[in-house]
């Protein structure tokens, strides 16, 4: 209970300080970014971390299917300065009805956020000039380097080989081409 | 030449080839589109050339299942009702493979078109040969063509998927109005969130060479 109270206090402090909303739903916390600049400062603060940012939504079936692969990636590279952020494009109006119940069910270990910036025409090209807004979409950011992928990764190997060029020290590629992202291992 | 087989280069090559599942290509503003012949929900084959006395076409890649397409459904009907009398009919095309999403099958298209009383042609890109030419990547995705099939606008219908009344920019309407006055649409390219086009499964090599050739990439199988 104390932890919950503290997190609530923290919640109000954060709202006051930076106008972003942090939510905590029984062990699954997430941040709501009302505008792209807020997400951009999150990206800038990551500095030399390799960010793997996946854009998804609860209504997007292929997105849901590939989420377990991002969880696998997070687990495997947790010690290698890799940060996975699952950025949902769900409507903020359906936060309580759809988004929070989905998070409660899945209990993601990766960082979860909701981007509620309605001006998609302006923010989409800030992620990648190649992107026109279809999801799923994934971008890897490390300092000034970026790499973009449109569409779903069919299996874990496909995702890992997409990320590997950004990793300085990698062990042998885990062959999980039979791992179709749909379920657990 | 032997250097091409140097493992890191090979890996780089493979990544270049398969690193991105889809790459944005297709028509740009000012390109002339090829006509097509696709089956309508009425089972009739439809080409753009079949439309007589038009000033252009509001070509929209859309589908049954996508929540964004559903949010825009009434606005697509309204666009047709408003601009078809002025020479700009809506031509809707479902680019999705029902092997990926059953709800986007031809039969389901017929059911939806009848239930929603679509006043426009709703066509099925069954062979998935038309949407790649246009470079459509999502649903809904609009391509505004003039009567000679030159592309004049590519992008979104407006800037507010959830609440039509709150849209600040009704891009397609603005673009059609510009064309009716003989002007160039401005902007002529916009982006929006949407569902990816669902491409039918294909057998492709594993993204990274693995020990033996007996590793078959997962295709189909557990898809919905």
Q: Is residue A140 part of a domain?
A: yes
Q: Is residue A173 part of a domain?
A: no
The minimum CA-CA distance between A26 and chain B, rounded to whole Å, is: 28
Contacting residues of B for A138, CB less than 8 Å apart: none
What integer best gives the mean pLDDT of chain B? Answer: 86
Query: What's the pLDDT at B66?
Result: 96
With beta carbons less than 8 A apart as the criterion, state whether B81 and B119 touch: yes
Query: What's the pLDDT at B10?
Result: 45
Q: Is residue A180 part of a domain?
A: no
Query: What's the pLDDT at A48?
Result: 85
Q: Is residue A185 part of a domain?
A: no
Question: Which range is least confidently modeled, B12-21, B77-86, B155-164, B179-188?
Answer: B12-21
Q: Is the pLDDT of residue B23 over 60?
A: no
Cβ neighbours for A7, distance < 8 A, ≥ 6 positions apart:
A24, A29
Please give the tally of structural domains in chain A: 1
Q: Is residue A39 part of a domain?
A: yes
Query: What's the pLDDT at A42?
Result: 95
Query: Rounded to the nearest 10 degrees, how much is the dihedral formed by the CA atoms of A11, A97, A111, A58?
Result: -160
Would the CB atoms of B217 and A177 count as touching at under 8 Å? Answer: yes
Query: What's the pLDDT at A91?
Result: 93
In chain A, % of residues over pLDDT 90: 66
d(CA A138, CA A148): 6
Question: Which range is least confidently modeled, A19-28, A99-108, B84-93, B115-124?
Answer: A19-28
Rounded mean pLDDT, A110-138: 95
Would the CB atoms of B217 and A59 count as touching at under 8 Å? Answer: no
Rounded mean pLDDT, B121-141: 97
The minimum CA-CA distance between A29 and chain B, rounded to whole Å, is: 24
Counting one residue from A and one from B, how many pairs have CB atoms under 8 Å apart?
113
The residues pairing with B195 across neighbouring beta strands, listed in sequence order, are: A135, B139
d(CA B223, CA B139): 20
Contacting residues of A for B20, CB less than 8 Å apart: 148-150
Taken in order of first residue, the domains within chain B and their CATH numbers are 22-196 (3.40.30.10)
Residue indicated by tokens 């209990």: A107
Question: Which range is least confidently modeled, A30-39, A100-109, A171-180, B88-97?
Answer: A171-180
Q: Name which of A55, A134, A157 to mutate to probe chain B: the one with the most chain B Cβ atoms within 10 A of its Cβ.
A: A134
Instruction: Specify the CATH number for the domain of residue A42.
Output: 3.40.30.10
Instruction: Give me the sheet containing A21-25, strands edge to edge.
Output: A21-25, A28-33, A111-115, A82-88, A50-56, A137-142, A145-150
Query: What's the pLDDT at A6?
Result: 57
Would the CB atoms of B15 and A165 count as touching at under 8 Å? Answer: yes
What integer best gives the mean pLDDT of chain A? Answer: 85
Query: What's the pLDDT at B164?
Result: 94
Asked if this assembly's ipTM is beyond 0.90, the reply is: no
DSSP notation for A114-174: EE--S-HHHHHHHH-TT--SEESEEEEEETTEEEEEES--SSHHHHHHHHGGG-SS--SPP
Q: Is residue A84 part of a domain?
A: yes
Q: Is the pLDDT of residue A58 over 90?
A: yes
Task: Using CB atoms, pick whichever of B210, B215, B218 lies closest to residue A180.
Answer: B218
Count of C-beta atoms within a 10 Å radius of residue B13: 12
Between the alpha carbon of residue B22 and those of residues A150, A174, B40, B52, B147, the distances in Å are 6, 24, 27, 35, 30
Would the CB atoms of B159 and A180 count as touching at under 8 Å? Answer: no
Contacting residues of A for B192, CB less than 8 Å apart: 120-121, 124, 132-133
Would the CB atoms of A120 and B197 count as touching at under 8 Å? Answer: no
Q: How confident is the model at residue A178 (pLDDT cuts 50, 70, 90)?
A: low
Task: Using CB atoms, pick whichever of A60, A165, A179 lies closest to residue B195.
Answer: A60
Q: Is residue A117 part of a domain?
A: yes
Task: Using CB atoms, pick whichever of A120, A130, A136 lies closest to residue B196.
Answer: A136
Q: Is the pLDDT of residue A152 over 60?
A: yes
Query: What's the pLDDT at A25?
Result: 64
Q: Is residue A100 part of a domain?
A: yes
Domain of A55, in residue numbers:
18-166
Q: Which two tokens stand for residue B82?
A: 């408003």
Q: Name which of B27, B72, B161, B195 to mutate to probe chain A: the one with the most chain A Cβ atoms within 10 A of its Cβ.
A: B195
């Amino acid at each position: 209970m104390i932890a919950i109270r503290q997190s609530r206090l923290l919640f109000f402090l954060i709202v006051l300080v930076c106008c972003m909303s942090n939510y905590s739903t029984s062990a699954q916390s997430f941040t709501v970014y009302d505008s792209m600049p807020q997400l951009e400062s999150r990206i800038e603060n990551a500095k030399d971390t390799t960010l793997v940012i996946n854009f998804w939504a609860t209504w997007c079936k292929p997105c849901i299917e590939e989420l377990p692969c991002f969880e696998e990636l997070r687990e495997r590279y947790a010690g290698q300065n890799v940060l996975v952020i699952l950025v949902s494009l769900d409507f903020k109006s359906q936060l309580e009805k759809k988004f929070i119940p989905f998070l409660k069910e899945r209990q993601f270990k990766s960082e979860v956020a909701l981007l509620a910036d309605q001006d998609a025409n302006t923010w989409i090209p800030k992620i990648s000039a190649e992107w026109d807004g279809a999801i799923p979409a994934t971008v890897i950011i490390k300092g000034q380097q970026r790499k973009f992928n449109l569409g779903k990764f069919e299996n874990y190997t496909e995702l890992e080989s997409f990320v590997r060029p950004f990793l300085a020290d990698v062990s042998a590629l885990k062959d999980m081409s039979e791992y179709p992202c749909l379920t657990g291992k | 030449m032997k250097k091409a087989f140097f493992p890191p280069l090979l890996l780089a090559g493979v990544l270049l080839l398969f690193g991105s599942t889809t790459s944005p290509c297709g028509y740009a503003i000012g390109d002339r589109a090829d006509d097509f012949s696709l089956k309508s929900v009425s089972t009739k084959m439809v080409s753009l050339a079949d439309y007589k006395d038009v000033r252009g076409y509001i070509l929209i890649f859309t589908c049954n299942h996508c929540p964004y397409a559903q949010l825009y459904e009434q606005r697509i009907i309204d666009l047709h009702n408003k601009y078809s009398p002025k020479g700009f009919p809506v031509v809707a095309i479902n680019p999705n493979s029902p092997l990926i999403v059953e709800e986007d099958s031809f039969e389901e298209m017929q059911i939806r078109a009848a239930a929603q009383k679509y006043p426009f042609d709703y066509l099925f890109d069954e062979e998935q040969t038309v949407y790649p030419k246009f470079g459509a990547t999502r649903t809904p995705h609009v391509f505004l063509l003039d009567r000679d099939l030159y592309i004049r606008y590519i992008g979104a219908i407006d800037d507010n998927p959830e609440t039509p009344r709150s849209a600040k920019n009704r891009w397609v309407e603005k673009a059609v109005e510009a064309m009716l006055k003989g002007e160039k649409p401005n902007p002529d390219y916009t982006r929006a969130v949407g569902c990816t086009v669902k491409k039918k499964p294909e057998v492709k090599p594993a993204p990274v060479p693995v020990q033996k050739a007996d590793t078959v990439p997962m295709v189909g199988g557990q898809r919905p």
